Amino acid sequence: MNAALIAGLRAQCGGPRDGALLRFSLGNALLEQGDHAAAVDEFRRAVSFDATYSAAWKLLGKACLGSGDATGAAEAWRQGIDVARQRGDKQAEKEMAVFLRRIEQKDPS
C-alpha cells in the first residue's frame, strides 16, 4: 500500500496541489518506507514551501539522522525549535529539543 500511496503523492507533485502539505505527506511516506534520502529531499521541499511548518522540520531532522547526517539533523531541529517557539507550538519545540540534546550528547563538539 505504501508504494501506491507514494506513487499517488508523486503524481501530484508539480501540479496545482503541490505545496508544503503534499511534500510533507510524501516525505512521511518515504520515511516510513525507510527511504531516508528521498524523505530528506521532500521535507526540504516542504519547508521551502512553508518555513513555519514545525512538523516538517521535526521529520526532516529524523530523516537526516536516518540517512547518517547527524549535523543536518541537528541543524533542522535547531531551525524547527526556533519556528515552533515563534508559533507557540510547545509540543514540537519540546520534542525537537529532546532529539537535539541526544545528538549533542553523542557528539558534544
Predicted confidence at residue 1, as pLDDT, reads 60
Query: In angstroms, rounded to a whole number, what is the distance separating the alpha carbons of residues 49 and 19?
Result: 6
Query: In angstroms, rounded to a whole number, what is the distance separating the alpha carbons of residues 106 and 108?
Result: 6
Query: In angstroms, rounded to a whole number, what is the distance separating the alpha carbons of residues 104 and 109?
Result: 8
Which superfamily is assigned to 2-106 in CATH?
A: Tetratricopeptide repeat domain (1.25.40.10)
Question: Closest Cα to residue 37, out of 3, 5, 67?
Answer: 67
Predicted confidence at residue 33, as pLDDT, reads 96
Computed over every residue of the chain, the mean pLDDT equals 95
Query: In angstroms, rounded to a whole number, what is the distance separating the alpha carbons of residues 38 and 44?
Result: 10
Q: Whole-prediction pTM value?
A: 0.94
Confidence band, pLDDT 50/70/90 cuts, at residue 67: very high
Query: In angstroms, rounded to a whole number, what is the distance separating the alpha carbons of residues 82 and 86?
Result: 6
Predicted confidence at residue 98, as pLDDT, reads 97
Instruction: Write the pLDDT tens digit of every residue in 1-55.
Output: 689 999 999 999 999 999 999 999 999 999 999 999 999 999 999 999 999 999 9
Check whether 108 has a pLDDT greater than 80: no
CB within 8 Å of 91: residues ≥ 6 apart: none
Q: What is the mean pLDDT of residues 75-85?
A: 98
- Annotated domain spans of the chain: 2-106
Predicted confidence at residue 106, as pLDDT, reads 82
Query: In angstroms, rounded to a whole number, what is the distance separating the alpha carbons of residues 26 and 22?
Result: 6
C-alpha cell at 20: 508544503
Predicted confidence at residue 109, as pLDDT, reads 55
Query: In angstroms, rounded to a whole number, what is the distance separating the alpha carbons of residues 8 and 102?
Result: 35
